[in-house]
Amino acid sequence: MKRLRLIIAHEYMMIVGKKSFIIMTLLIPFLIVIVGAVPVLIAYLNESADKSVEQIAVLDQSGGLGNALVPTDKYKFIPINATGAPETAARDFYKKASESLTAVVVIPADVEQTARVTIYSEQTIDVSTKEYINGCLGDTIAACRLASYGIDNLEKIVDDLKVDMSVNSIKWDENGNEQTTSTELSMVIGMVLALIIYTFVLMYGAMIMNSVVEEKTNRIVEVVVSSCRPVELMFGKIIGVGLVGLTQFAIWVVILGVGGSVLSMLGLGSMAAADPSTMQAATAAASEEGMDMQNMLAALGGINYGSLLVNFVLYFIGGYLLYASLFAAFGSAVDQASDASQFTTPIILFMVIALYAGIACASNPNGPMAVWCSMIPFTSPVVMMVRLPYDVPIWQQLLSIVLLFATAFAVTWLAARIYRTGILLYGKKRSFKDLFKWVVNK
């Protein structure tokens, strides 16, 4: 045990002590934060640039409809009168006017029938301006048309017809208590956890393989295994590198947490103010999905974080052990990392299949594919993460965990047999047949 601890500490420090590790670990969250912050910053800059009021001239030929354009902080409407062709009149006015005029809106006399107005300007009109004008005039024209039917209370009837459906999903727990859930939220949480496992296993698996190959090419391995058993070295490596991953993960969580809260204090308020139309759209989308902010918070509270965390850790360990020992075994069978692709391609293929199965399962988390893929140990760590927020039957969870760990231990045992032979053999290119022989040899 003392030797194992020593090897774990050594493997850990070999990676954590590297400058490149420190730089990458610190840099990645900043990159993420920067990527997240850029839109906020741009919105913020936009807002401060947009402080100027846009002056829009209105050439109203409809007689009164121009009043529907209500001025705001951003838009100021100047009614103008003109005779003759509206286009020439608009152009004349635009040319004569001071520079601050943005555009001229021409409301034709037959606007109630055609529902068509024209905006003239030297620059392309931006979408929000267009939408504002559209909204103001559209509502008024709709009201006028309604009034033209001459039916009592029609406006009220129409309002009644505007149904805004909202589907709240409420789940009963064992005690019959109600919990608000959210399908969308479950999906997001599941996918994020699945992606973390996927990324971690591949990234650190490759790291283990490189470390094994490096020791072998360095020839230091012969000295080390004359002091400890090869199995100890392999496990020391797997555990040490696993701890590196956890360290990196913890650092990122802290940095992202701190960075996120700082950012939300600085940025979020300004973002909300910056772009009212997107905020409106977002709220609209949310209410379409039957989800207002309160519901979202209730759903966040409705997830069983304890069980999710326990499961995440279990699948994380099981999946990592399974793939890491394979990477270690294959690393031991080659003389240089570039020769390893023939062995690693199947592993990476498995992982990619797992990821795609996970994505597919998100829309049907209790379908046959989801159930099968969450049982097969090579895909279960990723797929089960997607399924878990949707409440998987407990027997399936248990079976899947047992299968995963049974397979992980079996594969580790096989890997150790390959490893202890592989690390001492040089020169020849090995095939899967050779690896099989090493396993069988006593």
Binding-site ranges for other proteins (CB under 8 A) = 2-3, 6-7, 10, 14, 18, 215, 217-229, 424, 437, 441
Q: Least distance from C-beta 429 to other proteins, angstroms?
A: 16
With beta carbons less than 8 A apart as the criterion, state whether 65 and 138 touch. no
- Cα 247 vs. chain centroid, distance in angstroms? 22
Q: How far is the CB of 217 from other proteins (least distance, A)?
A: 8
Phi and psi at residue 180, in whole multiples of 5°?
-80, 135
The CB-of-242 to other proteins minimum distance in angstroms stands at 20
Nearer to other proteins, 2 or 51 (CB): 2
Beta carbon of residue 335, minimum distance to other proteins (angstroms, whole number): 12
Min dist. Cβ of residue 281 to other proteins (A): 53
Which of residues 116 and 429 has its CB atom nearest to other proteins in the complex? Answer: 429
Structure tokens at 349: 């293929």
The residue (of 218 and 307) whose beta carbon lies closer to other proteins is 218
Question: Which of 387/420 has CB closer to other proteins?
Answer: 420
d(CA 352, CA 201): 12
Distance CA 263, CA 60 (A): 46
Residue 321: which of 379, 255, 405 has the closest Cα?
A: 405
**CB nearer to other proteins: pick between 200 and 438:** 438
* Shortest Å distance, C-beta 220 to other proteins: 4
13 near 244, Cβ under 8 Å?
A: no
Is 234 within 8 Å of 369 (Cβ atoms)?
no
- To the nearest 10°, the Cα dihedral for 142, 144, 148, 149? 30
What is the nearest approach in angstroms of other proteins to the Cβ of residue 232? Answer: 10
Beta bridge partners of 308: none
Minimum CB separation of residue 214 from other proteins in Å reads: 8
Closer of 227 and 261 to other proteins (Cβ): 227
Distance separating alpha carbons of residues 174 and 168, to the nearest angstrom: 20
Q: 3-class secondary structure for 267-278?
A: HHHHHHHHCHHH
Nearest approach, Cβ of residue 423 and other proteins (Å): 10
Residue 141 or 239 with smaller CB distance to other proteins: 239
Nearer to other proteins, 18 or 171 (CB): 18
The first and second tokens of residue 23, run together, are: 């730089």
Q: Which residues of 407-431 are buried (b: 16+ CB within 10 A; e: fewer)?
A: bbeebbebbbbbbbbbbeeeeeebe
Which residue, 211 or 295, is less far from other proteins as judged by CB? Answer: 211
Cα separation of 272 and 40, whole Å? 9
Any idea what DSSP says for residue 144? H
Identify residue 414 by its one-letter amino acid code.
L
Across 87-150, where does the E strand assignment appear?
101-107, 118-120
Question: Nearer Cβ to other proteins, position 171 or 437?
Answer: 437
Q: Is the dihedral of CA 326, 331, 334, 336 positive or negative?
A: positive
For the bound state, the minimum distance from the C-beta of residue 229 to other proteins, rounded and expressed in Å, comes to 8
